[in-house]
Amino acid sequence: MEKKNVYRIFTIADYEREALYFREMHAKGWKLRKVSYSILLSVIKYTFEKCQPEQVSYQLDFYPMEKSDRSSYLQLFKDCGWEHITDFNSFSYFRKAHSEIESNAEFEIYNDAAGKLNMVHRILRLRLLPILFFFSMLIPLFLKLLSERDVFRGLVFLLTIIDCVLLLALVVQISYIFWRLF
């Protein structure tokens, strides 16, 4: 069996673009097998397996849950004709051949605005808000370090500048995620 690893960067807001990418890969004869972190944590490793090219719809669902609820969750999707591929970072990956799709509503897991909105709210509540809260708690610490006058002032200033740049990069990334989700 032939395998292929692809390394890509997708944010949690790019779940639709990610699903479209899998669909294109499947049409080229590569079906998704596994999703995992790469050595560089900012890049995601996708493992594909050689297959017959066909039109397949891929969907991602963000739904963190207890292991006891997992079997009923997967059974629900199986009953609707969706094949579960893998799980990664609280996202579940599903696919369904276009030949098995009977109506336009079946191309997506959430074919209504309320379902999509609920998933976006889960992403925001469980991923982005804790990060924003944590970094907002660091701002007073950064300001205090800037006002300190001690022997290590130059080192503290340099570390504070580095932290501020990283915080600014995070704010830009989170702003992008909010923009993409809404």
Q: Nearest 5°: CA angle at 166, between 160 and 169? A: 140
pLDDT of 114 reads 73
pLDDT of 104 reads 61
pLDDT of 93 reads 94
The pair of structure tokens assigned to 14 is 């790019």
Beta strands in the chain (DSSP E): 3-8, 30-37, 44-50, 56-62, 83-88, 91-97
Give the start-to-end residue ranges of the domains of the chain. Answer: 3-111, 116-181
Reported residue count of the chain is 182
Per-block average pLDDT, block size 10, for the chain (182 residues)? 89 84 96 89 89 93 83 89 91 89 64 70 71 74 67 65 75 73 63
pLDDT of 150 reads 60
